[in-house]
Amino acid sequence: MKITIHDHPPVQTVQQPRLGKPTIDLNTAPYGILLLRLSLGILFLAHGLLKFTVFTLPGTAQFFEKLGLPGFMAYVVAPAEVVGGLMLLAGLYSRWVALVLFPVLLVATFKAHGANGWMFSNEGGGWEFPAFFAIACLVQFLLGDGAYALSSIRSHPRH
Amino acid sequence: MAQPQSQSSVSVTLAAGTHWICTCGQSQNYPHCDGGHKGTAFQPLALELTSTKTVEITP
């Protein structure tokens, strides 16, 4: 009597990644995500602080009203940008922070820069930059924290 | 020595766990043991799988 054991094919296909073969280099990808996260964090922090210090909150509210947005949004958006920027830099709930900040950039794309045309070098700045910024936020949401994130240190304590 | 009753070779997909494989050839549920070896010199073979496998059994 002889028994031959083969791997069951369906089990293998279930374990395959969705795209059939690995498309991400797991050795370097976390550092790419880290770069994206730090860039977004610095941008949000800078734009948030700009609203506090240079434009001031009442000034930002006035600007928002000029765009046809409710003025009180300035008091929501500016702190959200500062706190979100810091959380991105620290790597705390990066994907959810990026998802929450995504609508801010949609508004920036369509409301604040939509009328200025596409080119970033146009007067007032065209919408290509905020649009790319918005997509980068979605990408961060899809990617997660990346390397050196505080979240990953908390959830995987070193032994 | 007694020879097992001849059965043709089979290929089955078995889930993880222990399976009793008929060695006497008396089983009505070949390749699974159904206790038909009673009164013969044969004992079923315990096959332990840790994951689903395709198993080819040739008597």
Confirm whether A7 is domain-assigned. no
Domain with A67, as residue range(s), is: 28-155
**A17 in any annotated domain:** no
Return the number of CB contacts < 8 Å for A and B: 39
Domain count, chain A: 1
Which pLDDT score, from 0 to 100, does residue A31 have?
A: 95
Flag whether A4 is in a domain: no
The structural domains of chain B, with segments of one domain joined by +, span 19-44
Q: Please give the full DSSP string across B3-22, using - where no structure is assigned.
A: PPPP---EEEEE-SEEEEE-
H or E element at residue B49: strand B45-49
Averaged over A4-26, what is the pLDDT?
71
- Indicate whether A11 pLDDT > 60: no
Pick from B11, B37, B55 the residue to mutate for testing the A interface (most A CBs within 10 Å). Answer: B55
Domain assignment present for residue A53? The answer is yes
pLDDT digits (tens, 9 = 90+) for B38-58: 888 889 999 999 988 999 988
**Among A137, A115, A139, residue whose Cα is nearest residue A126:** A115
Which chain B residues are closer than 8 Å to A6 by Cβ? 53-56
The interface predicted TM-score of the complex, written ipTM, equals: 0.78
Chain B positions touching A1 (Cβ under 8 A) are 4, 23, 45, 57-59
A131, part of any domain: yes
